[in-house]
Structure 1
């Protein structure tokens, strides 16, 4: 993959290239163009999904409670702004946090009450049928998308399931500048915001063989450049995409398309990535996943 030679992503393990015959489209959901699916006192919420995951995005100014009953697996709540605080409780434990934080909630019954002003992102698997059905692009997944491996949860966490909290302001890796956390169902790369457009001479086109990448734009504006392989059957070819999206938005990039995302706004640009299940290649890199000691790899 064409990363710069000093970018440690160039050392990621690769697999033998096998080009499939059929490809799925990318998904682009711009929440700012849509009415909220749920609207309450001081909170508006939108949803988008991929094959294995659902993103719930909420703008909050006040207090909101998000509850799950009989949740089948772990899910994640991201407090994306310093002005937010939360109390999370389950049938196992309770925890209070403030500021930019990633919460992992266990299966079963749980409640997260969040107060303040800012953005809240909830990440669940599509086993949560009630949430998956609310996605703006739910109809796109009436049929399974191509080339995605069968979903399996990763091993149970050390010490069993409980509420876990991770500080999203801890220093990122130096190379690449990632801040990676995982649980049994999801991996989150909470990258720091960047100022100004990306240097067009330093793009990083790459591909994934059998999993989707979910890119959530929290601030600014990005162009997602996506290119699908050509096969012997021209009927299966897809035109290149250069899709520009503004915050807040979700883009789901399908395998095995070649892709890279370019920040283009003159001010702050902030994009984070989500994968379900966690990425094996990132997890295989020593020290990359900040909570690997709590969540063993398969």
Structure 2
């Protein structure tokens, strides 16, 4: 039996690297995981990010600035700190102010997958990651869906989770002071990856790879400090936790593909669960 080297984490410090795409008024950094792509764009007013025939839905998060999002004969004017789901097909995101726009696509956006800075990390196809299988279509059909994040803040959780048919985003609440080092949350995922997008502040990501029978395959723990904007991809099976280490606003967004069953099985946790059914065998009782 051939033993594979453990998959490395991706640490993409976008603020110190060149973008993968440049168009009029827009500079875009692309970072992939096995099942999805994160596109972070610094934009000027009038910049257009267009998809002629995207095969499935994608997310648009307006961090700073604003955008007019058009698809399927509809449009939405999205302000800062909002999230929009864009339907399959042709779409257009036009910046209405200077700022930062984040789009999250599934692996079916193959042109973006291939253009990602870390595409070579997945040359083997990532067999340890479960395949991307879409959940049921939304009963009301594919259309623009828009969410003002402030409307979903809750006192009992720092999570704001949204899903599509094959993606999930957890827009965590901002942290104003460094995280308590005695209250961290190390955990791992058996067969899926997590991308952590830092949009404000500085974080330390700590990762620990499992041991195998072959000691030559062991990896040292990693504790990587990274600023914003940045994308870190935690491999499947790797124990990880993150903590903000800077003062002031610190903001982290976690991304998954496909949607997580454990989150989806908790009643009321997914903010738009009523719009996106779960697969029948996994429906919560």
The equivalent of 2:45 in structure 1 is 62
Contact 1:67 1:111 in 2 (8 A): yes
How far apart, CA to CA, are the structure 2 residues paired with 1:222 and 1:122?
21
User: What is the RMSD computed on CA atoms of the aligned residues?
Assistant: 1.7
Corresponding position: 1:226 with 2:207: yes
Contact 1:215 1:273 in 2 (8 A): yes
Contact 1:23 1:147 in 2 (8 A): no
Deviation, 1:232, is 1.8
How far apart, CA to CA, are the structure 1 residues paired with 2:154 and 2:119?
35
SS at match of 2:262: helix
The equivalent of 2:129 in structure 1 is 148
The equivalent of 2:16 in structure 1 is 33
Q: How does 1:57-206 map to 2 (within 5 A)?
A: 57-81=40-64, 83-84=65-66, 86-206=67-187
How far apart, CA to CA, are the structure 2 residues paired with 1:49 and 1:262?
22
In the alignment, structure 2 segments of 5+ residues that lack a partner are: 280-285
Corresponding position: 1:208 with 2:189: yes
The equivalent of 1:8 in structure 2 is none
Deviation, 1:80, is 1.3
The equivalent of 1:16 in structure 2 is none
SS at match of 1:24: coil
Say which is worse superposed, 109-118 or 169-178, in terms of deviation: 169-178
How far apart, CA to CA, are the structure 2 residues paired with 1:254 and 1:37?
23
SS at match of 1:293: helix
Contact 1:74 1:104 in 2 (8 A): yes
Contact 1:21 1:231 in 2 (8 A): no
SS at match of 1:66: strand
How far apart, CA to CA, are the structure 1 residues paired with 2:134 and 2:128?
18
Deviation, 1:35, is 1.3
Corresponding position: 1:43 with 2:26: yes
Contact 2:46 2:95 in 1 (8 A): yes
The equivalent of 2:283 in structure 1 is none
**TM-score w.r.t. structure 2 length?**
0.92
Deviation, 1:21, is 7.9
Deviation, 1:24, is 1.6
The equivalent of 2:6 in structure 1 is 23
How far apart, CA to CA, are the structure 1 residues paired with 2:156 and 2:191?
25
In the alignment, structure 1 segments of 5+ residues that lack a partner are: 1-19
Deviations 1:250-269 (A, max 9, x none): 00001111110011112321
How far apart, CA to CA, are the structure 1 residues paired with 2:244 and 2:74?
40
How far apart, CA to CA, are the structure 2 residues paired with 1:71 and 1:127?
8
**TM-score w.r.t. structure 1 length?**
0.88
SS at match of 1:165: strand
